[in-house]
Amino acid sequence: MSSTLLVLNEVAVAPGKVDQVLAEWSELNQKEPAAGRVLYRSTVDDNVLEITPIKELSDLGALNSVWQKLWESVSADLVSDFRRQLLEFVEAPKDVTDALPQTPYVQLRHIEVKPREYTAYREWRESTIFAVVRRADQVKAFLAYHSLLSTEPGVMFVSGFECEPAEYQKVFTSPEYEQIVQEAGDRYIVGGESGLYTRVYKRADV
């Protein structure tokens, strides 16, 4: 069953340094283990993402201790500071048996929903977004979260898939889904369609 709370920790790495940063980050994680934690690398740039499932807010204290050691280890090879988000589980159109999808790839899909439209949006997405992903074989997991603490507040979908990214993307570039995005942008998303961002990552250990 998907985790109730997720911590996302992402950073931009200097060109040519991703493998080194991943190696040092992985070594630190082995010394300071956290159940279910997974490291990913972006498929389009030099970003590294860590997703950590936690059970209680009190678990953040132990994570912070590790983050301080991580900073000391890799900060010289970074081009941005760490960007962290705490997400709370809402629902799962395609749930998982573990805390996180165990697929080779994950995609993060984020929007900020207009507060006055949030209840209507929850109802709308059940018959639109969720209907599409439930019948799409390419989508192996689809988990809906909402930010508790974030500089990018809003809805975050964590989607897991096994096929090549180009094949997976067909689900979200079909005429049907493009119409869904347009509807969302017109009514629900802060900033319209431009308020939607998606990012694809590959597990660092595969």
- Of residues 101, 111, 117, the one with CA closest to residue 162: 101
**Full residue range of the structural domain in which residue 45 is found:** 5-85
Q: Give the mean model confidence (pLDDT) for residues 1-7.
A: 95
Q: To which H or E segment does residue 134 belong?
A: helix 129-135
The pLDDT tens digits for 31-73 are 999 999 999 999 999 999 999 999 999 999 999 999 999 999 9
Name the H helices within the chain: 18-31, 60-74, 118-127, 129-135, 165-169, 175-187
Co-location of 43 and 71 in the same domain: yes
Give SS3 for 159: strand
Q: Do 147 and 180 lie in a common domain?
A: yes
Q: What is the pLDDT of residue 1?
A: 83
Evaluate if residue 168 carries a pLDDT over 90. Answer: yes
pLDDT at residue number 38: 97
Looking at 85, 117, 145, the residue that finishes a domain is 85
Determine the pLDDT at residue 206.
78
pLDDT at residue 193 is higher than 90: no
pLDDT of res. 29: 95
Cα separation values, 99 from 47, 51, 130, Å: 23, 10, 20
78 and 142 both lie in a single domain: no
- Looking at the structure, do residues 121 and 69 belong to the same domain, yes or no? no
- Which pLDDT score, from 0 to 100, does residue 190 have? 95
pLDDT, tens only, 94-127: 999 999 999 999 999 999 999 999 999 999 999 9
Domain count, the chain: 2
d(CA 73, CA 25): 8
pLDDT for residue 137: 98
CA gap 86, 7 in Å, rounded: 5
Tracing tokens 């180009």 back to the chain, one arrives at: 166
Residues in the chain: 206
pLDDT at 39: 98
Last residue of a domain, one of 25, 51, 85: 85
Same domain as 194, residue 114: yes
pLDDT score, position 123: 97
Q: What is the pLDDT of residue 181?
A: 95
Give the position of tokens 């660092």: 204
User: Which pTM does this prediction carry?
Assistant: 0.95
Tell me what pLDDT residue 151 has.
84
Q: Looking at the structure, do residues 49 and 125 belong to the same domain, yes or no?
A: no
On whether both 113 and 173 belong to a single domain, the answer is yes
Is 146 found in the same domain as 45?
A: no
Question: Among 85, 108, 143, which residue terminates a domain?
Answer: 85
CATH label of the domain that carries residue 95: 3.30.70.100
pLDDT in tens, 119-158: 999 999 999 999 999 999 999 999 999 999 998 999 999 9
Same domain, 111 and 73: no
93 in the same domain as 79: no
pLDDT at 194: 81
Residues 34 and 80 in one domain: yes
What pLDDT sits at residue 68? 96
The answer on 51 and 125 residing in a single domain is no
Q: Between these two residues, 141 and 1, which has the higher pLDDT value?
A: 141
